[in-house]
Amino acid sequence: MAFRRTRTGCLTCREDGYKCDEQKPFCGRCVRLGKRCKGYGLKLKWQSPIRPQEVEKVEKGSKGQRRRKASTTALTGLQSQHLAVSTSPRAMSSGLSPQHAYLLDHWSTTLASLITMAPSAQSQFHTHITPMIAHSPSLRSAVCFMAAHHLSILRPDPLLINAATQHQIDAVSSLRKTILTESPLISLAIIMILQATDRLFMTNSGVNHLEGAKVIIEQAGPRTWDCDIGAFLLDLCCYHDAVVSVSERAPPILGLGGDASYLELIDPMQGLKILWAIFGQISSMGSQEGALLDAQGEAIETVLRALDTCVSREGDAGHTIHAYKEAAHVYLHRAWHNVGSPHPGTLKHARECLNHLFQVPISSPLVSTHACPLWTAACETIDCELRDRVRERVRAMYELRHLPSLRRLGQDIEDIWGIKDEERSATGIDKVDCARTILAIRRRGADIV
């Protein structure tokens, strides 16, 4: 017999209409029934955009403005507490509230540089996203949502979490109202900031933002993205699409990627896009078998061999590309032949991947993309010295960036090592699929963003 709907329980129990015991991190009902506990965050859902003629009707009957006003009043403590150190003359002259000025200052001076994927010191997020903030309240709220979460780690304060939740609500609410009239570039930027915040800060919104990104990309048409901002946003989509496919062992949603036809002409970002696409292709091999599976595996191996000779091993970009290439070999052998360590080929590729990653300074912007190859290779290594270096690397990545996903990455790797060591001791072989194991024991994908 179903209990009354709970408003404070986990998202799974709320969807099912059952009372939740609200145990953390997973409620007792979900654990008992083997269901995926979706956490206790705010539940958002992609819906068809509101038609312009409906917006006025929605606004007239909405009580949201009164709720937002009450929430803003509750946050005045946060605003006054940090006003002296957070506001700049330019920010205040633009008419921003002290809270917005504080959060946007943290974004522009700190956070945008920590999450960039560029093979140079210039933050792509700062170059492309920051100028658009002035033109979109929804994008501003999305950026403040991420900044508030990051600040809450650096300076624990419940008001920052409250601020993050309110900015998330504001971003999604505003996006729903303006998605028909907003520039597709701005709409996609909002969605990808929400996606990155979900993955980096474990906000557990329960929304598949990549599905929303796919709709916007397809409806806008290819000419929309033929600009620097469009290219950056598609690169960001490509990266998240690939790593989500790996962490969930599922085909990619967007299927974006670089053209591997002219490998001798590629630049570093193009090389990374090709490899992200390859990771997505490997994730799709789970639904293939027989001749089709072999043909796909052989085609991927051909591209990986070509990359080995066409891409320099020099510099941060060269080491990052070759680390991804070696990790792709590890992932391919697991998906194609179900082969992992202690197979000599797997151990060789894993070792070379990690050695390439260790060559990149921890302060390099490209380290923001290293979680995926680090996870793929680290899980297969059985060398104690290499494992210690992995632990040190993950710890250093977290100390510099303070992103919760990096802490969970380290925990996930330790869990996999324990499970793999136990199986090898018992059977002498390793048939453990790392991503599927984390899905089973954690009821979530591995944190490899």
Q: Are residues 185 and 300 in the same domain?
A: no
User: For residue 96, what pLDDT band results from cuts at 50, 70 and 90?
Assistant: confident
**Does 72 map to a domain?**
no
**pLDDT confidence of residue 7:** 58
- What Cα–Cα distance (Å) separates residue 400 from each residue in 9, 292, 356, 397, 404? 34, 44, 20, 5, 12
Helix 184-201, helix 209-220: angle, nearest 10: 160
Structure-token pair, residue 22: 């609200």
Report the percent of the chain where pLDDT is more than 90: 54
**Running DSSP on this structure, what letter comes out for residue 360?**
S
Q: Are residues 153 and 24 in the same domain?
A: no
Q: Are residues 283 and 385 in the same domain?
A: yes
Judge whether residue 2 has pLDDT over 70.
no
**Does 191 map to a domain?**
yes
**Does 299 map to a domain?**
yes
**pLDDT confidence of residue 382:** 93
Rounded Cα–Cα distance for residues 134 and 119 (Å) = 27
**pLDDT confidence of residue 33:** 81
Q: Are residues 317 and 193 in the same domain?
A: no
Rounded Cα–Cα distance for residues 147 and 403 (Å) = 11
Structure-token pair, residue 232: 């950056």
Out of 39-53, 335-349, 388-402, 417-431, least confident range: 39-53
Of 193, 226, 259, the one marking the end of a domain is 226
Judge whether residue 56 has pLDDT over 80.
no
Amino acid at the residue 95: G
Judge whether residue 210 has pLDDT over 90.
yes
**Does 179 map to a domain?**
yes
Mean pLDDT of the chain: 83
User: What's the structural domain count of the chain?
Assistant: 3
Judge whether residue 83 has pLDDT over 90.
no
Q: Read off the pLDDT of residues 379-426 as tens digits, 9 standing for 90 and up.
A: 999 999 999 999 999 999 999 999 999 999 999 999 999 999 998 888
- What Cα–Cα distance (Å) separates residue 323 from each residue in 269, 326, 350? 14, 5, 9
Q: 147: closest CA among 107, 198, 97, 87? A: 107
Whole-structure pTM value: 0.79
Q: Are residues 132 and 198 in the same domain?
A: yes
Out of 35-39, 360-364, 372-376, 399-403, least confident range: 35-39
Judge whether residue 66 has pLDDT over 50.
no
Rounded Cα–Cα distance for residues 198 and 142 (Å) = 11
Q: Are residues 306 and 407 in the same domain?
A: yes
Q: Are residues 285 and 222 in the same domain?
A: no
Rounded Cα–Cα distance for residues 326 and 332 (Å) = 10
Q: Are residues 301 and 434 in the same domain?
A: yes
Rounded Cα–Cα distance for residues 292 and 435 (Å) = 23
Q: Are residues 215 and 282 in the same domain?
A: no
Q: Are residues 277 and 219 in the same domain?
A: no
Say which residues have a Cβ less than 8 Å from residue 187's Cβ, sequence separation at least 6.
175, 178, 179, 216
Helix 384-401, helix 371-378: angle, nearest 10: 160
Q: Are residues 311 and 435 in the same domain?
A: yes
Residues 249/439, Cβ–Cβ less than 8 Å: yes
**Does 379 map to a domain?**
yes
**Does 47 map to a domain?**
no
Q: Read off the pLDDT of residues 132-143 as tens digits, 9 standing for 90 and up.
A: 999 899 999 999
Q: Are residues 299 and 402 in the same domain?
A: yes
**Does 424 map to a domain?**
yes
Q: 304: closest CA among 255, 353, 339? A: 353
Specify the 3-state DSSP secondary structure of 405: helix
**pLDDT confidence of residue 93:** 39
**Does 1 map to a domain?**
yes
| Domain span including residue 283 | 273-442
Find the CATH number of the domain harbouring 7: 4.10.240
**pLDDT confidence of residue 271:** 85
